[in-house]
Structure 1
Amino acid sequence: MTRCLFLLSLFIPLSVQAEIYRWVDAEGRVHFSDQRIPSAERLDIQSGRQIQPPPAPGPNSPDEHYPGPYSQVALLTPTSDQTLSDPAQGVAVSLYLEPALVEGHQLRLMIDNRVMVLDRNQTQLRLKGLEAGRHRLQIQVWGPDDRIVAQSASRIFELKLPSAPGELP
C-alpha cells in the first residue's frame, strides 16, 4: 500500500505558486517581497527558470549626467573647455547639489580618474598641484552601499603654464 501511494504521488503534479513583487524606493534602491506594495509590479516567476536580477539603477556611462535622487548635481566651475593659465593659484572648483546631500551619501570629486572625498557640505575648493595639460573633472555622489547614486557630466579643462614676460604664448 505504501508503495502504491509513493508511486501515485510521483504522478500527481505539484503546484507551487508564490507571488513576488518588485519596487524601487525614493532613493533608487530595488526591493523584492512576497507582500503586495501599492507601487510594486508583480513578477512572473516560473519554476526551473533562472532569473537575472534587473540592473541596479545608475548612470549608463561614466561621463553622463545622472541626477539620481537629486534634482541638480552640477559642476559650476571650471567651465567646459576652459583654459586656465596660473597653476600656482590652483583651479577654483565650484559645485551645486540640490537638495542637500542625503544622510549616508558621500561627495567625491573625480580628477583624471583619481578620487578626492569631500567634506559633507563642501561646495567650493581650490585644486593645487595639477600639472599643465588637459584634465577631466566630475562630481559623484556615492551611497552607503558603495555605488554611484548620482553624478554630474564630466568636464574637460586645460591648465597652461603662464608665458614668461616678453614671450609670446
Structure 2
Amino acid sequence: MSVPMRYRALALCLLAPLTALAQIYQYTDANGNTVYTNQPPGGSHAREVQLPPLNSVPPATPGNTPAAPVSKPEPAKAAAAYSTLQLTDLPTDEALRANNGTFTVGVALQPRLAPGHLLQLVLDGTPYGTPGNVPRLQLVNIDRGDHSLAVRVLQGEQVVQQSAAVNFTVQRVHR
C-alpha cells in the first residue's frame, strides 16, 4: 500500500517542529511505502531529510515594543438596529386571563436577531427574567392588575433598542 503524497507532506509538517531536537530520516519499507522517522532504521538504507530552518521572532523588550494602536469605541448608531421590534400576543382591549399569573408573549422582530444580541423583557420599567435569543418569552407568577411590558435587545449589558411599552391587565383567581 503506497502512501499518498498529501500524507507525506502532512507528516513533514507535523515533524518539522521536531527538527530543532532531532534529525528526520526517510526510507522505503519492504512494502514500498515511504516512511519518515526520527530514528534511523536498522537494516535499510535511509537518507537524512534536510528541512529549511524554522522562522523565529526575537522576544520583545520594553524599549523596542511598538505601541498598540488605540481603538476608539464606536458611537451608538442613531438608526434603529431593527425596523420592527414589538410584543405580540397581549390583549389590549380586555384583561389577560392567567389564573396562576404565568403566560407567554411573542416578539415580532425584523430583521432576525443578530448574533450576540439577546432579548429581555421589561415589566413595569424593571428588567424581567434572563436574556435569551428566542422570540417567545415567559412570565411567571405575575400579580393581578395593571402592568406595562416592553422588550429590549441587549448586546452584553448595553441596550441596543427597546420596544414601545404595552399596557395590559392580568386577571387571576383571587384566593
The separation in 1 between residues aligned to 2:98 and 2:119, in whole angstroms, is 27
**TM-score, with structure 1 as normaliser:** 0.50
Counterpart residue number, 1:25: none
Count of aligned pairs: 101
SS of equivalent residue, structure 2 residue 108: strand
2:164 aligned residue (148, 153, 159): 153
- Check whether the contact 1:109–1:139 (CA below 8 A) recurs between aligned residues: yes
Residue in 1 that maps onto 2:100:
88
Quick one: distance in 2 between partners of 1:80 and 1:100? 25
RMSD of the TM alignment (CA)? Answer: 2.6
Does the CA-based 8 Å contact 2:87-2:107 persist in structure 1? yes
Given that 1:108 and 1:139 are in contact with CA atoms closer than 8 Å, whether structure 2 keeps it comes out as yes
- Per the alignment, residue 124 of structure 1 pairs with 136
Which residue identity lines up with residue 151 of structure 1 in the other structure? Q
Structure index of larger Rg? 2
Q: 2:150 aligns with which of 138, 141, 147?
A: 138
Change in CA separation of 1:163 and 1:118 when aligned onto 2, cut-off 3 Å: same
Q: Deviation per CA, 1:23-44, whole angstroms, max 9, x where unpaired?
A: xxxxxx42xxxxxxxxxxxxxx
Q: 1:140 to 1:111 in 2, by over 3 A?
A: same
The offset of 1:155, in angstroms, is 0.6
Task: State the partner residue of 2:86.
Answer: 74
For 2:99 and 2:77, locate their aligned partners in 1 and report how far apart those are by CA, in whole Å: 38
Secondary structure, counterpart of 2:100 in structure 1? helix
Counterpart residue number, 1:109: 121
Listed as ranges, the gaps of 5+ residues in structure 2 are 1-73
> Percent of counterpart pairs with the same letter?
26
Deviation at 1:57, TM superposition (A): 4.8
Quickly say closer, same or farther: Cα 1:103–1:86, change in 2 above 3 A: closer
